[in-house]
Structure 1
């Protein structure tokens, strides 16, 4: 691979990583919705998901983070406990509960408010630049407002069904239950919104934690371990007296636990941490609309979910607002590879310094006046001969 091609690949790596994450999240939405439709408890799904993630990530963390893993301190441990509570417990349980009341497409569309929430929190914590006289900063603000407005449209406006060839004549969980009424939509939207707020807090806190604990694999393993422990307590309290909910068979429930644990907890936390070190938390969440599009297509094929005009309109508003935010902050996290001028700048300084020293040495060069026996410097001063000889 040539150097220019390698440079382009290095620049594309963060984009490829977050796009991979969105495909992973899309698959999780569809599989999780199918498992929930079959009666799986969302609390149990969260526990199994992080048990699987910890079992997969922990061996890699032990081996590869041996030299970079810092000593565990009380402040770091408190941050780890908070991280495991924010995303694995609060966000995922509320997200899956909201999905139960709605559809996978609805839930994926609502998560598009995540970049806006993350942006607002990053501005409050001074992790993002905001200058109101700048057109890019204004785009960030208007984009954030549009994103929230689009989420409200998705929640409150239903509209006519958009008929697709592959959904005609099919019935899904939503149609069997008589459709999703406004009350369920609002209830699901509130749960998903709170979950997204918790997720945004998780992203910002993860970026802060990585500054003092720069071991992504170990951080992921700790989050999954603590999250599974805290999630087990929540599941035992919420599903008390229901021992059968913990059983798994060779079906979509097991597949959902394995897939979401490996891809969406294990790999996702690690990739987020790696990308976040260079690009910040807002960049990682900026590609959420891609997940919505993938889920809408997969959900209509696999789950026979109907698309409504209101949800499509709200999604378009969210995407427009989101990319106003992305355009507004496009200059904030650019890390270009040094140009030839920048690369040669130190050499130029060294050359200039060397030439100045040479000039100084030349300036102090001496010539010998044989006739007089004196040493004459180039600046015209006389000096005594170093080795005078008296005859």
Structure 2
């Protein structure tokens, strides 16, 4: 019993860190599950968030009945913009950039999202950094170290390592169209939207503290937005199967 109580205390103390690790495991698992899929990436984004919405809505409905605020028109419009910012537009730009830049460069740039989010939060005074405190120094050093690591990963050219089964998400072509300017703009735009999404979401949660419900709404709205975009760029109905 003492061991169980000790484990519970450790879990409660480090709950945010544990949840972040589990989130990364889930994100990595998505790539394994989609490894053999041949869907258009924009269609994949639509299906992915539609499925997420269907899964989340029952939990949100029953678990947050007492704390869920009334959904007003202004709040719905805010969710619409938040979904556009953090779901449909961000991910579609992300996958579109895969056609023009190397996966290494794209992945490295996307890994700067925590750094960019931190910098934006400091600029907006949502994050207070004490340059003389150990916590503040750790945040600054961690941010700089992350940026340096990303630059090294993006621009260092080491020996080629062949992939065993190809890319996790197939784009319908075996070669990347080299257009670094266009690809870099798309990747950077996706990164900035993703970072600002986390900041904007913090403001929305103050008005709508039902986190599960907000996630369900963003998944559903984002799937609808992505579907509209995908229909525009992908006219073949057979691609949806």
TM-score (norm 1): 0.53
Distance (whole Å) between structure 1 residues aligned to residue 72 and residue 140 of structure 2: 38
Q: Which of 215, 219, 226 is equivalent to 2:221? A: 226
1:29·1:104 contact (CA, 8 Å) conserved in 2? Answer: no
Whole-Å separation in 1 of the counterparts to 2:150 and 2:36: 24
Task: Measure, in 2, the Cα distance between the counterparts of 1:94 and 1:22.
Answer: 21
Task: Give the distance between the partners of 1:32 and 1:201, measured in 2 at CA.
Answer: 27
Alignment of 1:200-219 (within 5 A): 200-219=195-214
Conserved 8 A contact 2:108-2:151: no
Matched ranges for 1:55-70 at <5 A = 55-70=54-69
Q: Which residue of 2 aligns with 1:243?
A: 237
CA distance in 1, matches of 2:200, 2:109: 22
> 1:215/1:61 Cα in 2 relative to 1: closer, same or farther (>3 Å)?
same
Structure with higher RCO (Cα < 8 A, 6+ apart): 2
Q: How far off its partner does 1:7 sit?
A: 2.0
Relative distance call for 1:144 and 1:5 in structure 2 (3 A) is closer
| Structure 1: gaps spanning 5 or more residues | 248-391
Query: What CA distance in whole angstroms lies between the structure 2 residues aligned with 1:107 and 1:31?
Result: 21
Residue pair 2:53, 2:220 contacting (<8 A) in 1 also: yes
Deviation at 1:71, TM superposition (A): 1.2
Tell me: CA distance 1:148–1:87, structure 2 relative to 1, closer, same or farther (3 Å): same
3-state SS of paired residue (2:209): coil
Aligned twin of 1:118? 117
The structure that has the greater radius of gyration is 1
Are the structure 2 counterparts of residues 171 and 227 from structure 1 closer, same or farther at C-alpha, using a change threshold of 3 Å? closer
| Alpha-carbon distance in 2 for matches of 1:14, 1:136 | 17
Counterpart of 1:305?
A: none
Give the distance between the partners of 1:51 and 1:70, measured in 2 at CA. 23
The list of structure 1 runs, each at least 4 consecutive aligned residues, that deviate by more than 6 angstroms after superposition, is: none
Deviation at residue 75 of structure 1 after TM alignment: 3.7
- Length, aligned pairs only: 235
The corresponding residue for 2:9 is: 7
Check whether the contact 1:51–1:224 (CA below 8 A) recurs between aligned residues. yes
SS at match of 1:161: coil
2: CA distance, partners of 1:78 / 1:11 = 37
Q: 1:27 to 1:185 in 2, by over 3 A?
A: farther
Q: Which has the larger displacement, 140-149 or 69-78?
A: 140-149
| Alignment partner of 1:20 is 2:15 | no
Classify 1:33/1:123 alpha carbon distance in 2 versus 1 (closer, same or farther; 3 Å).
farther
Q: Counterparts of 1:134-173 in structure 2 under 5 Å? A: 137=136, 140-141=139-140, 143-161=142-160, 172=166
Give the CA deviation at 1:211.
1.5
1:89 corresponds in structure 2 to: 88
> Relative to 1, partners in 2 of residues 1:108 and 1:42: Cα closer, same or farther, differing over 3 Å?
same
Q: Provide closer, same or farther for how the CA distance between residues 231 and 153 of structure 1 changes in structure 2, counting only shifts above 3 A.
A: same
Root-mean-square deviation (CA, aligned residues, Å) is: 3.0
TM-superposed CA distance for 1:31, in Å, is 4.5
Q: How many angstroms apart in 2 are the aligned matches of 1:188 and 1:27?
A: 26
User: Given that residues 65 and 215 in structure 1 are in contact (C-alpha distance below 8 angstroms), is that contact kept between their aligned partners in structure 2?
Assistant: yes
Q: Hey, what does 1:379 align to over in structure 2?
A: none
1:1-391 matches, cutoff 5 A: 1-2=1-2, 3-32=5-34, 34-35=36-37, 38=38, 40-101=39-100, 107-132=106-131, 137=136, 140-141=139-140, 143-161=142-160, 172=166, 177=174, 183-184=178-179, 187-239=182-234, 241-247=235-241
Task: Say if 1:68 and 1:171 are closer, same or farther in 2 by CA, change over 3 A.
Answer: closer
TM-fit CA distance, 1:109: 3.3
